[in-house]
Amino acid sequence: MQAATGKWREAVVFLFLSVMVWPVIAGGFVAAYGLAWWVYFIFAGPPGPF
């Protein structure tokens, strides 16, 4: 019975990581990238010929 409990717990942890944690981490990376560009354009000025 110990093996079945371990497999069930592993499946629950995998689902938690894949559904809850990794999307939050991916969104954080996208937000950090956008923030970096925003700060860059504050100091460098807007893009374009002007």
Tell me: pLDDT of 2 over 80.
no
Confidence (pTM)? 0.65
Residues 6+ apart with CB under 8 A from 44: none
Determine, yes or no, domain membership for 34.
yes
* Closest to 45 measured CA to CA, from 31, 34, 37: 37
Domain count for the chain, please give it: 1
Determine, yes or no, domain membership for 48.
no
Q: Write out pLDDT tens, residues 4-37.
A: 788 999 999 999 999 999 999 999 999 999 999 9
Determine, yes or no, domain membership for 28.
yes
What does the pLDDT read at residue 12? 92
Residue 48 DSSP class? S
With the C-alpha atoms ordered 33, 34, 39, 45, is the resulting torsion angle positive or negative? positive
Write out the residue range of the structural domain in which residue 27 sits: 7-43
Tell me: pLDDT of 1 over 60.
no
